[in-house]
Chain A
Amino acid sequence: MAADGTLVAGAPASAANGRANTMQRFARRRSTIAFLMALPLIALIGGLVVYPAGYAMWLSTLNRRMTANIGLGNFEILLDSDTFWMVIWQSCIFAVGAVIAKALIGFWLAHMLHHIPAKGQRKWRGMLLIPWVIPPALSTLGWWWMFDPSYSSINWILNIFAVPAVPWLGEPWWARFSVILVNVWYGSPFFMIMYLAALKSVPDQLYEAAAIDGATGWQGLRYVTLPMMQNIISITVLFSLIVTFANYDIVRVLTNGGPRDLTQVFASYAFQVGILSGNLPRGAAVSLFMFPVLAVFAFFILRGINRRNREQM
């Protein structure tokens, strides 16, 4: 860093002597102090993230009473059970369906927000971000009440348009749809905000140049906006895939896994097996099934962010 070297070199030798010593001592002490300052963080990550991760792997190889090591027995039992395969499918349907919908809605809304006069944007943005601000466990309670079989206020509205009542949480596919719907409602504002920030960073000159070359609005979107936002879009989508894939609270409050375990995702199933039924090792095994998928997503996010940093430099 510049602070040590350049300063000393520039100063007159006689005056520099005393200062050089302090500077050197500074530099020597610097990395020790830096390490000490980062120590609480290192302790936190080591003790409460890395250690539990290793512990989870060891835990998942034990039997139910945690008295004997059964190797990969828990994983074998899980892969043999039909319920667990339903969980895998439901997690994938849930994550992919919800993220695609969130990304599209978020992109659309960001565009619409970007097009209205700047004066009104703040107000609209403020209102549209509210679903993201309310803790999801609590807003899902509201949705649960709106889906209530006998008092559903959504069905009441559908009734006006002569649409028959929908069994929101009763039928498996409707329940799956409802869980995704609530997640989309909660998560779209996040995409909207991320895309809006990205849209604002696209220089206007690019659009002007495209307009002079005779580009239509669609072409502007295809050849200017999307390439410029590509990185943010992929980072946001991957990040949301991780969070959605590991989601727990919406499923827990809305369906609690029902009907017949058909809306269980990894997290809620791990909770049911591990904590509620008391089979901690197998619950840990269920959670660990998420790990490879999350690791792949995380790898690509990191690559995207590094690439973005290089572009900005």
Chain B
Amino acid sequence: MSASTASTIASYTGKKLGSLRSERRWALWTAYASLIVATIIFLAPPFYMLVTSLKSSAEISNLSGNPWIVRAPTLENYMELIANPLFRGFFFNSVIITLCVVAISMVISVLAAFSLARMKFWGSQALATGVFLTYLVPDTLLFIPLYQIVGGLGLLNSIWGLILIYPTLTVPFCTWIMIGYFASIPKELDEAALIDGAGWMQMLTKIFIPVALPGIIAATIFAFTVSWAAFVYPTAFVTTPEHMPLTIGVVSQLIRGDTFAWGQIMAGALMAALPPVVVYAFLMDYYIAGLTAGATKG
């Protein structure tokens, strides 16, 4: 009697476990299937760009056969671009602009975040809210008045105009996430520093910056990717090819007339996209921390 109940219970739980297990297996299969399909679709455009960039013009214009594979790979497109002084100029401009903008944004936002997170002053709460609201102002809302302002300063068609304006894209978000990181540092640390006689500046450089280093890296990556990828402002403010950064340079200067040099355009776009992708590949966790910090922190 007791043995039979035990066995029915065992068989019952076994069946239940089995169905649970098969359910879980199904869920796992669905998960992998969706991920594989999504990955193929998400990676198809960059893959196709790579394939095209490795083809010669003759192979690109040959309509017979599969366009997704390359038969005679060649680096000709890349070589031509690297030898092209205009393209090297784009790259150089992008590098200078991005370095300056990252440096400016980090100085402004670390100082401001420190003062907003720790040393309240009259109106600091309103300013913190204002910072977040400015982050929500898209670049396309104000590019026309900014065009007039930059023009008034005589900085149209110059990378300095872009260096002046780009921080509006980067500083609000960097400040916002730095406030979050600074606010999470325990107050005991500053008290200890104050007792030891540290000034505010020392407190910032000796305690806050080292402790909040992950946040600083995340903010730096954000500033870097945003100023590298900025498109609206350079499109509006720069029309002379020699002053263009990469994004608008590749889009507007490599496309000429009716015959598109598709191989070269794709090679240019890929080379231009390389720096952010490399940064992402090596610092993925910081990149993602910066991405999600805006909503989960602060």
**A180: chain B residues within 8 A (beta carbon):** none
Expressed in whole angstroms, the Cα–Cα distance for A41 and B111 within the complex equals 9
Residue contact A142 to B49, C-beta cutoff 8 Å: yes
Expressed in whole angstroms, the Cα–Cα distance for A48 and B150 within the complex equals 10
Residue contact B116 to A38, C-beta cutoff 8 Å: yes
Chain B 221-235 per-residue mask, 1 if CB under 8 angstroms from chain A, else 0: 000010011011001
**A31: chain B residues within 8 A (beta carbon):** 119-122
**A197: chain B residues within 8 A (beta carbon):** 288, 292, 296
List the A residue with the shortest CB-CB distance to B288: A193
Chain A 230-247 per-residue mask, 1 if CB under 8 angstroms from chain B, else 0: 001001100100110111
Shortest CB distance A148–B (Å): 8
Expressed in whole angstroms, the Cα–Cα distance for A309 and B273 within the complex equals 36
List the B residue with the shortest CB-CB distance to A42: B127
Residue contact A48 to B35, C-beta cutoff 8 Å: no
Residue contact B236 to A153, C-beta cutoff 8 Å: no
List the B residue with the shortest CB-CB distance to A45: B134
When A and B form their complex, what is the total count of cross-chain residue pairs whose Cβ atoms lie within 8 Å? Answer: 304
**B265: chain A residues within 8 A (beta carbon):** 141, 145
Residue contact B144 to A59, C-beta cutoff 8 Å: yes
Residue contact A284 to B145, C-beta cutoff 8 Å: yes
Shortest CB distance B79–A (Å): 20
Residue contact B39 to A35, C-beta cutoff 8 Å: no
Residue contact B295 to A141, C-beta cutoff 8 Å: no
Expressed in whole angstroms, the Cα–Cα distance for A150 and B144 within the complex equals 37
**B280: chain A residues within 8 A (beta carbon):** 129-130, 133
Tell me which residues from 279 to 298 in chain B have a Cβ below 8 Å from any Cβ of chain A. 280-281, 284, 287-288, 291-292, 294-296, 298
Residue contact B108 to A128, C-beta cutoff 8 Å: no
Query: When A2-B187, A138-B247 are in contact, do A52 and B231 touch as well, CB less than 8 Å?
Result: no
Tell me which residues from 104 to 140 in chain B have a Cβ below 8 Å from any Cβ of chain A. 107-109, 111-112, 114-116, 118-122, 124, 127, 129-134, 136-140
Shortest CB distance B77–A (Å): 13
Query: When A41-B109, A49-B142 are in contact, do A139 and B291 touch as well, CB less than 8 Å?
Result: no
List the A residue with the shortest CB-CB distance to B272: A138
Residue contact A298 to B136, C-beta cutoff 8 Å: yes
Shortest CB distance B165–A (Å): 7
**For the side of the interface on A, what is the size category?**
35 or more
Chain B 262-285 per-residue mask, 1 if CB under 8 angstroms from chain A, else 0: 100110011011001100110010
Q: Which of B3-11, B62-70, B81-89, B212-220 contacts A (4 or more CB under 8 A)?
A: B62-70
**B68: chain A residues within 8 A (beta carbon):** 153, 156-157
Residue contact A34 to B273, C-beta cutoff 8 Å: no
Expressed in whole angstroms, the Cα–Cα distance for A109 and B127 within the complex equals 37
List the B residue with the shortest CB-CB distance to A35: B121
Shortest CB distance A87–B (Å): 13
Expressed in whole angstroms, the Cα–Cα distance for A128 and B298 within the complex equals 27
Residue contact B127 to A243, C-beta cutoff 8 Å: no
A124 contacts chain B at the CB level, 8 A cutoff: yes
Known contacts A41-B108, A138-B250, A252-B235, then 14 further A-B pairs from the complex at CB < 8 Å, ordered by chain A residue: A30-B119, A33-B119, A34-B120, A38-B124, A44-B167, A52-B145, A52-B149, A53-B142, A134-B276, A137-B251, A239-B294, A246-B138, A271-B140, A302-B132
B interface residues, Cβ below 8 angstroms from A: 27-28, 30-32, 34-35, 38-39, 41-43, 45-46, 48-49, 52, 60-61, 63, 66-68, 107-109, 111-112, 114-116, 118-122, 124, 127, 129-134, 136-149, 164-165, 167-168, 171-172, 175, 187, 190-191, 194-195, 200, 225, 228-229, 231-232, 235-236, 247-248, 250-251, 262, 265-266, 269-270, 272-273, 276-277, 280-281, 284, 287-288, 291-292, 294-296, 298
A interface residues, Cβ below 8 angstroms from B: 1-3, 7, 26, 30-35, 37-38, 40-42, 44-45, 48-49, 51-53, 55-56, 59, 105, 108-109, 112-113, 115-116, 122, 124-131, 133-139, 141-143, 145-146, 148, 150-151, 153, 156-157, 185, 188-190, 193-194, 197-198, 201, 217, 232, 235-236, 239, 242-243, 245-249, 252-253, 266-267, 270-271, 274-275, 280, 283-284, 287-288, 290-291, 294, 297-298, 301-302, 305, 308-309
